[in-house]
Amino acid sequence: MATNRPTGRTVGAVIVILISFSLLSHHVSFLRPSLLQISPTPLKDQLPERPGSGLSLGHLVPAFNIKTDDDIESINANFHPRSTPVNSTSAHRQVKRVESLSYADAVCKGRLLWANVQNAFNGQRAPGRDFGQAEFDEAWSIMPTEGRPSPVGQHWDAALRDFVRNPPLGIDVVGPESRSRKFPTQSKRFFNDAGRPVDTPTEGHYDITFVPVCATMIATTALSPSASIADDQGSPYGHPVDARDVPNLVPPMHRFSDLAWFFWTKATVFRGRLRYIGHDFILSEVSVSIMDHLAMMRFGNADVNLPWPGLSYGIETDEAKALLAVPNGIGVAYIMMDRAGGLGRRQPTVHIFKNDRGKWCMLWDLAPV
């Protein structure tokens, strides 16, 4: 009588199939979501329960071990919207293989930044260096802006009017007389932090509009000296500078936070009154990718029309911390850290919205506590 007992050939085939499946699973496990910019769970399962609720990292695995200030500086040096260092280390090349900072890594970086900000508020972190006119004049020039109105568009008018409910008599908060535009460019030879001369200007530049009556500054261009020389398209060196060499090739006064605070103190005697810091027409691929991610989480579509006030997140949420970590947010973090004594304790909320050209804008409301 015939039996159903498996033959040796059948058993062998089953073993081969099981081994193949095990190897495939092992290899697939290396394709981490943070590196591929995808998530293994359906979009509907990732949606926050309510607007502004903290989005749990859950399945999102950070690609980097972000625990210290040095870790932040390393990522800052390696993530630039359009650059890939040609002489970078293998670790740098691994970083640059990812086109943008993943959401999980942005949250981790933002958490550390916010912890540093709180330490500064508590007097547990040394204040930043105060740069004066001499340091500015040594390395920077002012581009003439007479006859060139501020490029801040009408899409900001609603926000500016929201900021000042009862403006002083006769002041038009959206009129040109209430605005002061500064366009500093790093166009001179300079001495670096080590006191050594650097003959090649970085060509970094910022275009910032100050609206003191609204306690507001809005950057329409923010190409830092370090980003400029690391750029693979427009570096003044003719090639992107290795990230490890950047600190020696930029002037001591080079961050957006340095220049923005310097001009704010000249625009108004009320230093601590600064409350709103905005970025218009954001082009940074790192910043855009995180904002696109948040729009996808909320609407399932990153191309949604989103005028002011757009999406809003308090700093207690991971969404806000991720936005604090991107190039258009980290300058705000450094202003709070370095100028805590002048600003006082703040509790930020961030708004992201789109201008009339469909480009992302970001505004930080640094509410006094």
Listed in sequence order, the residues at least 6 apart from 353 whose beta carbon sits closer than 8 Å to its beta carbon are 155, 306, 307, 308, 309, 310, 311, 360, 361, 363
At 51 the pLDDT is 32
Mean pLDDT value across residues 113-139: 95
Mean pLDDT value across residues 236-254: 93
Q: Which two tokens stand for residue 22?
A: 């095990």
Q: What percentage of the chain carries pLDDT values higher than 90? A: 54
Q: What percentage of the chain carries pLDDT values higher than 70? A: 67
Burial 225-254 (b: 16+ CB within 10 A, else e): bbbbbbbeeebbeeebbbbeebeebbbbbb
Any alpha helices (H) in the chain, and if so which ranges?
8-28, 33-36, 43-46, 69-78, 90-96, 103-121, 133-139, 157-163, 225-229, 256-267, 285-299, 318-325, 327-338, 340-343
**Cβ pair 63, 47 in contact under 8 A:** no
Please give the C-alpha separations between residue 72 and each of 122, 219, 329, in angstroms, as whole numbers: 21, 23, 13
Q: Which two tokens stand for residue 13?
A: 């085939």
**pLDDT tops 70 at residue 125:** yes
The pLDDT-based confidence of 213 (bands split at 50, 70, 90) is confident
By mean pLDDT, which of 146-155, 168-177, 308-317, 360-369 is the weakest? Answer: 168-177
Q: Which two tokens stand for residue 121?
A: 């508020």
The pLDDT mean for the chain works out to: 77
Q: Which two tokens stand for residue 186?
A: 């790093």
Whether the ω angle into residue 309 lies within 30 degrees of 0, i.e. cis, is yes
CA–CA distance, 302 with 354 (Å, rounded to integer): 11
CA–CA distance, 336 with 367 (Å, rounded to integer): 12
Name the residue type at position 152.
Answer: V
Helix count and strand count (H, E) for the chain: 14, 11
At 91 the pLDDT is 32
Name the residue type at position 198.
Answer: V
At 159 the pLDDT is 84
Strands 360-368 and 311-314: unpaired
Distance of CA 274 to the CA centre of its chain: 20
CA–CA distance, 355 with 276 (Å, rounded to integer): 17
At 133 the pLDDT is 96
Mean pLDDT value across residues 7-19: 49
CA–CA distance, 330 with 286 (Å, rounded to integer): 12
Q: What is the pLDDT of residues 33-79, one digit of tens each?
A: 332 222 222 222 332 333 333 333 434 445 555 556 655 555 554 44
Tell me the domain boundaries of the chain.
133-368
At 178 the pLDDT is 75
Cα distance between the two ends of the chain = 88
The pLDDT-based confidence of 2 (bands split at 50, 70, 90) is very low
By mean pLDDT, which of 40-44, 79-83, 277-281, 296-300 is the weakest? Answer: 40-44
CA–CA distance, 79 with 64 (Å, rounded to integer): 13
3-state class (DSSP) for residue 338: helix
Name the residue type at position 285.
Answer: E
Instruction: Select from 106, 59, 43 the least CA-distant residue to 286.
Output: 106
**pLDDT tops 80 at residue 163:** no
At 172 the pLDDT is 67
Q: Report which listed range, 8-12, 93-97, 312-316, is most confident.
A: 312-316
129 burial via Cβ count (<10 Å: 0-12, 13-18, 19+): exposed
